[in-house]
Chains A and B, each alone.
Chain A
């Protein structure tokens, strides 16, 4: 072949290259369409569990996939940052690309339910044969949204209450008895004072671990306020800030931890790290921390939340799996089959993973207390569920009500109180106004 004949001019080259690129790009699309119907169903699952509990959840998904190998159904799990989770679900749903199911927190998804992003599950649960009578009453109630047909919008997977974890080394060092954890607010403060250490005039080790802003003081206030009789919303979800005096008194109690009892410092920036490194003695937190602290070798025990305000109560979150709107509604049944399997086989998740089981058949198993971490560090999170009666507020403005937040309106408002830039009464007035607006809007 002569050199002249083989020469390709620029225009021909570009045309050929464009055609070749187009063909290359189109091939996977054509191929995927052709083979789509021969493939097994792959359910897309979004999860934000990225800490040690995430490893256990990944095991659960792997177990499902192994158990269903060659049976035409598999789960593909994708990690999504928790803070961006709702936004990404909304975006994916708006573009028809929503995952089949994902992790949700009961009471925080009213907006998703209202906008039809999450799928009501009563009929699907009934058809799948998932036995709702096996679930605790509180878990089924928490999965419903009274304002949106009172249907279940998630399948409960675990119940996580906030209970005090206590550094046993500090307890012994202070000459206290680890078997006699405080049951009242006064006793708790005494324990805190016995374990607090100072560097000059500054608290260098918090007897009661707190931060100057963010989640820890907010949730502490929320628990103590509800113990004192405060309600963020009335039972009928019509009136905000019931018994505000109790809410104000709870703010003053939190402030006293810093300034009067001197058992806490505002200087802690990372509460998890502080407890793990021995810079805090009593730390109320959730069961998601257990795996990490056990691996870290922290010598700690867990107790039930004391009665600080008059009624022994604590906050709880319920984790569950919610279904997202699909263009192909036939996928719901397959998703329910998968979620039913995960729920039926959630023994590992609710012993080693996190939280207490919402299913009676699991709670009643003789090996439930002996599996996973020792009962003295896990037991309070299971037995303590009986006092875990502070739920989320299941309205669209629910995220503004949650006491387990470091960045919502509640936390931001209270930060001004902790920083002494606003009085408790002023903060309560602002909270009541904003919350009432949220309730009025539905």
Chain B
């Protein structure tokens, strides 16, 4: 075979060769890999590298980028709208991540009981996740309407009236978070359910025989065994929240007064609406650094010790 040749190999491979086996490098494999690799390089890696470059320039598509050094970063770090968007996203994280994790876990525990109709409940809990964020946003704009929304209508029976979910600076972030929790819970739920179903039944049974009640079984058997999945859900959710955009764009467009704006929304405004691509890229890099830092920190805090 023309394509097959002997090359320098690690010891264990050389040992196999000495035993009479041959190793063939079939270059056609690269062709198959290329179907993924080339588009990935062209449409993922190249834009990221180009984005990194234009963050140091002033550029609005037409003409060559003008090198401005760190000016975009300096401007971004002093831009009150950028600072506000980053503050907001941290608040989003504080509301959405625990909200999604707790709701997802409760839903998974409920379905795992295998009570009658639990399969319908499973579909019910997961369904919002398959709907696009834009549709979710549009639905929740109606539900959370201050004057005519269903949520305020039902709250009025409890004596709570007229919460300005999307039209006040105090509540807009909460309003968007509620829609996000409803949307994102589906993924957390399905991951938690899979983890729950993986826990050996005999462990639970042994704990029950030893006299552990339901709460003790949950906190001393189930949750510790689910630690890796909890860690994964929290990490995924945090990254997803730091990138929140569609709900913000559809529900409040970042307002009022920037109270619900997120970094990605700001980047979209800077790049697509104002055509300041260099500045938008600089903000995107700052966001990227923040995501990496928070993710590493989180992994250190809730890392699995199993």
A residues adjacent to B (C-beta < 8 A): 10-11, 14, 83-84, 86-87, 90-91, 93-94, 111, 115-117, 199-200, 202, 204, 211-214, 265-270, 279, 399, 406-408, 412, 415-416, 418-419, 421
Kindly list chain A residues whose C-beta atoms are within 8 Å of the C-beta of B145. 269
Kindly list chain A residues whose C-beta atoms are within 8 Å of the C-beta of B275. 86-87, 90, 111
Contact B258 A415 (CB under 8 A): yes
Contact B253 A407 (CB under 8 A): yes
Contacts A91-B61, A200-B161, A269-B167 given: A418-B256 contact, CB under 8 Å?
yes
Kindly list chain B residues whose C-beta atoms are within 8 Å of the C-beta of A266. 164, 167-168, 256
Kindly list chain A residues whose C-beta atoms are within 8 Å of the C-beta of B257. 213, 412, 415-416, 418-419, 421
Among B126-134, B212-220, B266-274, B298-306, the stretch that binds chain A is B266-274
List residues 260-294 of chain B with CB under 8 A from any CB of chain A. Answer: 269, 271-275
Contacts A117-B62, A416-B257 given: A267-B147 contact, CB under 8 Å?
yes
Contacts A399-B274, A407-B269 given: A415-B256 contact, CB under 8 Å?
yes
Contact B167 A90 (CB under 8 A): no
A–B complex contacts, Cβ < 8 Å, 27 sampled: A11-B28, A14-B28, A83-B272, A84-B272, A87-B61, A90-B60, A90-B62, A93-B62, A94-B62, A115-B63, A200-B162, A212-B167, A212-B255, A212-B256, A213-B256, A265-B147, A266-B167, A267-B147, A267-B164, A267-B167, A268-B167, A269-B141, A269-B166, A399-B274, A406-B253, A415-B258, A418-B257
Contacts A117-B62, A421-B169 given: A202-B162 contact, CB under 8 Å?
yes
Given contacts A14-B28, A115-B63, A267-B146, 15 further A-B contacts (CB under 8 A): A87-B271, A115-B62, A117-B62, A199-B162, A200-B162, A202-B162, A204-B147, A213-B167, A213-B256, A214-B255, A269-B145, A269-B146, A412-B258, A418-B257, A419-B168
Kindly list chain B residues whose C-beta atoms are within 8 Å of the C-beta of A419. 168-169, 256-257, 259
User: Which 3 A-B residue pairs are closest in the complex by CB-CB distance?
Assistant: A213-B255, A213-B256, A267-B146
Contact B61 A94 (CB under 8 A): yes
Answer whether residue B91 sits at the interface, using C-beta atoms and an 8 A cutoff: no
Kindly list chain A residues whose C-beta atoms are within 8 Å of the C-beta of B272. 83-84, 87
Whose C-beta in chain A lies nearest to the C-beta of B3?
Answer: A11
Kindly list chain A residues whose C-beta atoms are within 8 Å of the C-beta of B256. 212-213, 266, 415, 418-419
Contact with A along B52-73 (1 / 0, CB 8 A): 0000000011110000000000
Whose C-beta in chain A lies nearest to the C-beta of B268?
Answer: A83
List residues 136-190 of chain B with CB under 8 A from any CB of chain A. Answer: 141, 145-147, 161-162, 164, 166-169
- Selected from A83, A111, A418, the residue in CB contact (under 8 A) with B60 is A111
Minimal beta-carbon separation of B115 from chain A (angstroms): 40
CA distance A158 to B28 in the complex (A): 61
Contact A407 B164 (CB under 8 A): no
Kindly list chain A residues whose C-beta atoms are within 8 Å of the C-beta of B273. 83, 407-408
Minimal beta-carbon separation of B78 from chain A (angstroms): 13
Minimal beta-carbon separation of B195 from chain A (angstroms): 39
Kindly list chain B residues whose C-beta atoms are within 8 Å of the C-beta of A416. 257-258
Minimal beta-carbon separation of B170 from chain A (angstroms): 10
Minimal beta-carbon separation of B260 from chain A (angstroms): 10
CA distance A27 to B257 in the complex (A): 55
| Highest count of chain B CB atoms <10 Å: which of A115, A214, A407 | A407
Contact A415 B162 (CB under 8 A): no
Kindly list chain B residues whose C-beta atoms are within 8 Å of the C-beta of A406. 253
Kindly list chain A residues whose C-beta atoms are within 8 Å of the C-beta of B253. 213-214, 406-407
CA distance A416 to B261 in the complex (A): 13
Whose C-beta in chain B lies nearest to the C-beta of A83?
Answer: B273
Whose C-beta in chain A lies nearest to the C-beta of B255?
Answer: A213
CA distance A212 to B169 in the complex (A): 10
CA distance A14 to B253 in the complex (A): 51
CA distance A78 to B273 in the complex (A): 20
List residues 8-38 of chain B with CB under 8 A from any CB of chain A. Answer: 28, 31
Kindly list chain B residues whose C-beta atoms are within 8 Å of the C-beta of A412. 81, 257-258
CA distance A287 to B68 in the complex (A): 44
Whose C-beta in chain A lies nearest to the C-beta of B147?
Answer: A267
- Selected from A93, A111, A279, A415, the residue in CB contact (under 8 A) with B147 is A279
Whose C-beta in chain B lies nearest to the C-beta of A415?
Answer: B257
| Highest count of chain A CB atoms <10 Å: which of B28, B161, B256, B271 | B256
CA distance A407 to B166 in the complex (A): 16
CA distance A270 to B251 in the complex (A): 10
Kindly list chain B residues whose C-beta atoms are within 8 Å of the C-beta of A265. 147
Minimal beta-carbon separation of B275 from chain A (angstroms): 6
CA distance A412 to B256 in the complex (A): 9
Whose C-beta in chain B lies nearest to the C-beta of A205?
Answer: B147
Kindly list chain B residues whose C-beta atoms are within 8 Å of the C-beta of A87. 61, 271-272, 275
Kindly list chain B residues whose C-beta atoms are within 8 Å of the C-beta of A10. 28
Minimal beta-carbon separation of A100 from chain B (angstroms): 18
CA distance A269 to B168 in the complex (A): 11
Kindly list chain B residues whose C-beta atoms are within 8 Å of the C-beta of A90. 60-62, 275
CA distance A200 to B274 in the complex (A): 42
| Highest count of chain A CB atoms <10 Å: which of B61, B169, B274 | B61
Minimal beta-carbon separation of B49 from chain A (angstroms): 18
